Structure 1
Amino acid sequence: MNRYSFGFWIFVLCAIAVSGVIYGAIFYDDWSLIGAVFALFVCVPVIAFERGLLLPRLNAWVTSLSTPAYIIFSLLVFYLMVSVAFAACGGLLWSLGRLKAITWQEAVILPADILLYTIGVSLILSCVTRVRELLGRDVFASLLLGRYRKPIEEERVFLFIDLVGSTSFAEEFGDLRAQRFLSALFTAFAKPVRQYRGTIDDYIGDAAIITWPMARGLRQDNCVKCAFAIVDAIEADADKWLQKFGQVPRLRIALHGGPIVTAEVGVDHHKIAYFGDTVNTTARLEGLCRALGVPILISSDLAKRLDFSGDIKAEYLGQHALKGRGQSLGVMALTREKDLALKLVARSA
């Protein structure tokens, strides 16, 4: 658990405990810590499930459902979790003599008022979670807080990923199967991106754009580690890819960072958009991967700001002119010692 996850859980646990005490005071005129204990028992499993830490396979399946089915099954899962947690907490406190005023059955059976309260909270949580998943965690928070209502100048890291051979795959297997292939690929990106605190900004055809605020992307080489984590995730499931689609995805990856302008745009459909040369340069750098026959490229400007810890190596490939850019750009190929013999990308798609 990194310090960000640790800080998140400290905040969540404190908020849940306080809400439990307040709930007990309002509905039962009881300011004791019993309400906090019940709240922690009941809420923590639900939050852990929502974040994919508890029953991750079930969480992945529920998340993959359509929105109506997602809400229904989320409510069912939340209700079962809350009922079991309430019974466990009530039984434990009753056996310790902390609930002397009620019977054992009353201690372990979820009361109707708490059930209705829980269903209401769970429904709100399901809807908010679904919207957050559709928009992306950082985008959801930014839209909610109105951070980019006015354009802001900032520095960001961008990671562009393109699937090699998507056109030929679609020609051979059809557009529907190609879309399923892309959907499975983009799903595989999710965990590494969350792990290294990035945000999937957009999907454009067979490409994905991932971004970080500059400080977060540079910290502990998050942006570079994310790129290799995505490659590792695909390689780890190579047999499944072959069995389901007949081939393992091959990728071209580019990393670059610098100043951009970030703004909330749109009327009926709001979006956080990024403007500036940095975004265009990253896209051109991804195209350069094919010309150089290199799976992962990073600009020298960004590489100078990273430590490249572990077995990650950066090989300078010189200055290259990029289409639409007045100045040439220094580029470096990223490799790992264990991957030197691995060919991920052919020169032509």
Structure 2
Amino acid sequence: MPYGRAGFWITIAGISALFGALHGYLLNGGPSPVGIFYGTCIGLLTIAYERGVFFSGYGKRLRRLPTLAYLAAAEASLLLVILLGLALTGSVVWTLGLTDKSFLEAVTPKISTIPYALVVSALLVSALRVRDLIGSETFASLIVGRYHRPVSEERVFLFLDLIGSTTYAERHGDLAAQELLKAVFSVIAEPVRRHRGQVDDYVGDQVIISWPFARGVEKFRCVACIFAIRETLRSNRETWVSQFGFVPELRAALHGGSVVTAEVGVDRHKIAYFGDVMNATARLEGLCRETGKPVLISDAVLARLPALPDGIEAEALGPHCLRGRSEAMVVHALAEQRVRKTAEQSNSSAETEAECVSAVLGLVARAG
């Protein structure tokens, strides 16, 4: 299990245990180990349900309902999960001999416990949905106020752009294009989490991902993330073709350096980045179209990588003058070695075939 995911569940368990202790303090004359155990189990079960660990298909069907029907069904479902959790936890407590109650008393929750558990669970679920909406690291930064004052820091940025999305929208309409983007963005999320990046923003058909510089270059995470995303898209080829008629492809640009990070906004707060690095990365992504290379990386990032992932190689493209920048940027293209070898083999085969045709024509001419 990745550290980030393990850390998430450990945090949820700790918060749930605290609410279990608070329940004992408010309603039972003081916290107790059994009360803390109840709180931990209920919290974990509730969040596991909300995260789709179990009954994921049911949760997806609920989200398709109209808003009012969804809210009513979601609250009723949450209540059922809590009641089931209380009964299961009570049976465990009774089986372990941690209570003097009868089995029926142990699995039957107190009336006062149900609204408390419902309110606490709703608070946890709401907080997690806000966290999902703005990103886990952004959520944590807003909570602790890390960027109340602007901070200068080094970050690596990955700009991903979906190739052909505009053409797809023209052929199939904006709603169909939105379904395509939603599906692609959903697939991107897991590789980004696995390589400890964070999705900072979605701009049309573009995704902006970043890492603190040291974390991004450590174990070449920023590069490995790109090719993990590309491989994930390719591995589900049949699904993409059946649903959308083609396999999505992405252009990718990696650049990094010093930026100013600050919390901005009044009614709606967000963490924003300021500096030439952001503009340069956007221009580098545009250079993918001009060079015909799907993945480009600046020398500023490549030079600080300890190595490249196995099977990935860099091709030097030299300095390029990017629009809006006075200084040229040294750029490299990244590609999987097997792709290049296949292309080289194809070129070699074509050259050999051409040579054979030329030789045959020469023989025919001499025979004539």
TM-score of the pair, normalised by structure 1: 0.86
Query: Is the 1:316–1:332 contact (alpha carbons within 8 Å) kept by the matching residues of 2?
Result: yes
Query: Is the 2:159–2:206 contact (alpha carbons within 8 Å) kept by the matching residues of 1?
Result: yes
Q: Secondary structure at the match of 1:281?
A: helix
In structure 1, C-alpha distance between the alignment counterparts of 2:254 and 2:335, rounded to whole Å: 13
Match for 1:261: what amino acid?
A: V
Residue 29 of structure 2 is aligned to residue 29 of structure 1? yes
In structure 1, C-alpha distance between the alignment counterparts of 2:41 and 2:328, rounded to whole Å: 58
The more displaced of 291-300 and 214-223 is: 214-223
Query: Is the 2:82–2:118 contact (alpha carbons within 8 Å) kept by the matching residues of 1?
Result: no
Q: Secondary structure at the match of 2:87?
A: helix
**Could you report, residue by residue, the CA deviation over 1:143-177 in whole angstroms, capped at 9, with x for unpaired residues?**
33332222111111111011112222222222332
In structure 1, C-alpha distance between the alignment counterparts of 2:66 and 2:331, rounded to whole Å: 42
In structure 2, C-alpha distance between the alignment counterparts of 1:62 and 1:282, rounded to whole Å: 40
Q: Hey, what does 2:80 align to over in structure 1?
A: 80
Q: Hey, what does 1:347 align to over in structure 2?
A: none
In structure 1, C-alpha distance between the alignment counterparts of 2:91 and 2:293, rounded to whole Å: 60
Query: Is the 1:45–1:54 contact (alpha carbons within 8 Å) kept by the matching residues of 2?
Result: no
Query: Is the 2:2–2:194 contact (alpha carbons within 8 Å) kept by the matching residues of 1?
Result: no
TM-align CA RMSD: 2.7
Query: Is the 2:14–2:40 contact (alpha carbons within 8 Å) kept by the matching residues of 1?
Result: no
Query: Is the 1:158–1:212 contact (alpha carbons within 8 Å) kept by the matching residues of 2?
Result: yes
Query: Is the 1:241–1:247 contact (alpha carbons within 8 Å) kept by the matching residues of 2?
Result: yes
In structure 2, C-alpha distance between the alignment counterparts of 1:66 and 1:263, rounded to whole Å: 37
Match for 2:234: what amino acid?
A: E
The more displaced of 110-119 and 91-100 is: 91-100
Match for 2:37: what amino acid?
A: V
Q: Label 1:54 to 1:217 Cα distance change in 2 as closer, same or farther (>3 A).
A: farther
Give ranges in structure 2 of 5+ residues lacking alignment.
344-368
Deviation, structure 1 residue 62: 5.9
In structure 2, C-alpha distance between the alignment counterparts of 1:197 and 1:73, rounded to whole Å: 34
**Could you report, residue by residue, the CA deviation over 1:237-259 in whole angstroms, capped at 9, with x for unpaired residues?**
22122112111112101111110
Bigger Rg, which one:
2
Match for 2:105: what amino acid?
A: E
Deviation, structure 1 residue 315: 2.7
Query: Is the 1:71–1:126 contact (alpha carbons within 8 Å) kept by the matching residues of 2?
Result: no
Match for 1:164: what amino acid?
A: I
In structure 1, C-alpha distance between the alignment counterparts of 2:164 and 2:146, rounded to whole Å: 39
Give me the identity figure in percent: 43
Q: Secondary structure at the match of 1:112?
A: coil
**Could you report, residue by residue, the CA deviation over 1:36-81 in whole angstroms, capped at 9, with x for unpaired residues?**
2222221122233445555555566667878766654543443333
Q: Secondary structure at the match of 2:109?
A: coil
Query: Is the 1:71–1:123 contact (alpha carbons within 8 Å) kept by the matching residues of 2?
Result: no
The more displaced of 148-157 and 132-141 is: 132-141
Q: Secondary structure at the match of 1:122?
A: helix
Q: Secondary structure at the match of 2:286?
A: helix
Query: Is the 1:75–1:122 contact (alpha carbons within 8 Å) kept by the matching residues of 2?
Result: no
Residue 155 of structure 2 is aligned to residue 156 of structure 1? yes
Deviation, structure 1 residue 116: 0.4
In structure 2, C-alpha distance between the alignment counterparts of 1:65 and 1:255, rounded to whole Å: 40
TM-score of the pair, normalised by structure 2: 0.82
**Map 1:136-215 → 2, pairs under 5 A:** 136-215=135-214
In structure 1, C-alpha distance between the alignment counterparts of 2:47 and 2:188, rounded to whole Å: 22
Query: Is the 1:159–1:223 contact (alpha carbons within 8 Å) kept by the matching residues of 2?
Result: yes
**Map 1:109-128 → 2, pairs under 5 A:** 109-128=108-127
**Map 1:1-349 → 2, pairs under 5 A:** 1-29=1-29, 31-51=31-51, 53-54=53-54, 71-100=71-100, 102-307=101-306, 308-340=308-340
Q: Which has the higher helix share?
A: 2
In structure 2, C-alpha distance between the alignment counterparts of 1:69 and 1:342, rounded to whole Å: 54
Q: Secondary structure at the match of 1:268?
A: coil
Query: Is the 1:74–1:126 contact (alpha carbons within 8 Å) kept by the matching residues of 2?
Result: no
Deviation, structure 1 residue 25: 4.4
Query: Is the 2:153–2:258 contact (alpha carbons within 8 Å) kept by the matching residues of 1?
Result: yes
Deviation, structure 1 residue 21: 3.7
Query: Is the 1:260–1:278 contact (alpha carbons within 8 Å) kept by the matching residues of 2?
Result: yes
In structure 1, C-alpha distance between the alignment counterparts of 2:243 and 2:154, rounded to whole Å: 40
Q: Secondary structure at the match of 1:210?
A: strand
Query: Is the 1:94–1:104 contact (alpha carbons within 8 Å) kept by the matching residues of 2?
Result: yes
Q: Label 1:255 to 1:53 Cα distance change in 2 as closer, same or farther (>3 A).
A: farther
In structure 2, C-alpha distance between the alignment counterparts of 1:135 and 1:159, rounded to whole Å: 18
In structure 1, C-alpha distance between the alignment counterparts of 2:68 and 2:271, rounded to whole Å: 26
In structure 1, C-alpha distance between the alignment counterparts of 2:154 and 2:65, rounded to whole Å: 36
Q: Label 1:337 to 1:260 Cα distance change in 2 as closer, same or farther (>3 A).
A: same
Match for 2:163: what amino acid?
A: V
Query: Is the 1:317–1:330 contact (alpha carbons within 8 Å) kept by the matching residues of 2?
Result: yes
Query: Is the 1:20–1:35 contact (alpha carbons within 8 Å) kept by the matching residues of 2?
Result: yes
In structure 1, C-alpha distance between the alignment counterparts of 2:12 and 2:19, rounded to whole Å: 10
Q: Label 1:71 to 1:213 Cα distance change in 2 as closer, same or farther (>3 A).
A: farther
Q: Label 1:196 to 1:45 Cα distance change in 2 as closer, same or farther (>3 A).
A: farther
Q: Secondary structure at the match of 1:257?
A: strand
Q: Label 1:111 to 1:189 Cα distance change in 2 as closer, same or farther (>3 A).
A: same
Give ranges in structure 1 of 5+ residues lacking alignment.
344-349
Deviation, structure 1 residue 28: 2.2
Q: Label 1:170 to 1:74 Cα distance change in 2 as closer, same or farther (>3 A).
A: same
